Amino acid sequence: MVMAAPDSRSALRPFHVLEAFRSARRPLSLSEISQRAQIPLSTCHHVVRSLERHGILYFLSGRESYPTRWLWDTAREINAHDPIATRCLPALTALRDATGETIILGTRQDDRVLYLLVIESGQTIRYSSRAGDFKPLHSSAIGKVMLAGMPEAQREQWLAANAGRLKRATPATLVDARQLRDDLRAGAQRGYCLTRGENVADVMAIAAALECGAMTLGVAVAGPLHRMERNEDALSRQLIDAIQGLDLGPG
């Protein structure tokens, strides 16, 4: 007997409903949730009622609903016991304050970078993102750190497997395997990797590796290209000093 593959869309529908509220920033009717979450109305009705029964949504009237504080309380408890991000937060917040730029902690998940922690700059013009965002390996600074840290044979295998398949995020994205290989080697020699408008136009990022047992993380400083280029030497030193000061050993 052939087992049907699980429908990932069904599992993610409650999250799509919550995302609808996040983007709307107000109570929503069932039809509005259905439209924003792109869920058929009848299916959306079942999802919303299930969330209501579990105390995750409440109804302000017969038509409109909104998430309860359950989300906030649960997220706060989960965050307080994060084994990595919480331990990195003080040092990376200090790095944000010292550089004046956005700081990102990320790791590799399959062929993408997953942002674990984003501490945004307080400057008006800054790089903005959020934890949970995914970025390509080849066009993000943390992604390049992951590639540069691979054993050479594994990196060559990855480059060969992705030759001709790398997508341009911007006109500056390196999609040629030879150019990317040279860039990764230069990053390994420097001790940090760079992107100059390769993932987001007019944004530069500097990233270096942070080892946590068998897990490799990446820490990046990101900001407007003109400001980052002017301060590359100082920012790279501050980044590496901050990483060297982080102790992610047992405890």
Domains in the chain, CATH or no CATH each: 8-73 (1.10.10.10), 82-244 (3.30.450.40)
Question: Is pLDDT above 60 for 250?
Answer: no
Question: Is pLDDT above 90 for 193?
Answer: yes
**Confidence at 75, pLDDT banded by 50, 70, 90:** confident
CA–CA separation, 155 vs 76, rounded Å?
38
In this prediction, residues 166-176 reach a mean pLDDT of 95
Query: What residue type is 163 in one-letter code?
Result: A
Question: Is pLDDT above 80 for 8?
Answer: no
Lowest mean pLDDT among 122-126, 130-134, 213-217: 213-217
Contact between 193 and 184 (Cβ < 8 Å): yes
Per-residue pLDDT, 246 = 87
Per-residue pLDDT, 251 = 53
Per-residue pLDDT, 5 = 44
Q: Which residues pair with 113 in a beta bridge?
A: 108, 135
Query: What residue type is 23 in one-letter code?
Result: S
In this prediction, residues 208-222 reach a mean pLDDT of 92
In this prediction, residues 103-111 reach a mean pLDDT of 94
Per-residue pLDDT, 212 = 84
Tell me the average pLDDT of the chain. 91
Question: Is pLDDT above 80 for 6?
Answer: no
Question: Is pLDDT above 50 for 2?
Answer: no
Q: Which residues pair with 210 in a beta bridge?
A: 217
Rounded to 10 deg, the angle between the 70-80 and 85-99 helix axes is: 90
In this prediction, residues 165-175 reach a mean pLDDT of 95
Question: Is pLDDT above 70 for 1?
Answer: no
Contact between 152 and 137 (Cβ < 8 Å): no
CA–CA separation, 4 vs 1, rounded Å?
10
Query: What residue type is 56 in one-letter code?
Result: I
pLDDT > 90 in the chain, percent: 80
In this prediction, residues 191-207 reach a mean pLDDT of 96
Of 239, 178, 169, the C-alpha closest to 197 is 169
Return the higher-pLDDT residue of 116 and 247: 116
Question: Is pLDDT above 70 for 14?
Answer: yes
Per-residue pLDDT, 4 = 41
Instruction: Count other C-beta atoms under 10 Å from residue 24's C-beta.
Output: 13
**Confidence at 85, pLDDT banded by 50, 70, 90:** confident
The pLDDT tens digits for 51-74 are 999 999 999 987 899 999 998 999
pLDDT > 70 in the chain, percent: 96
Of 249, 228, 233, the C-alpha closest to 192 is 233
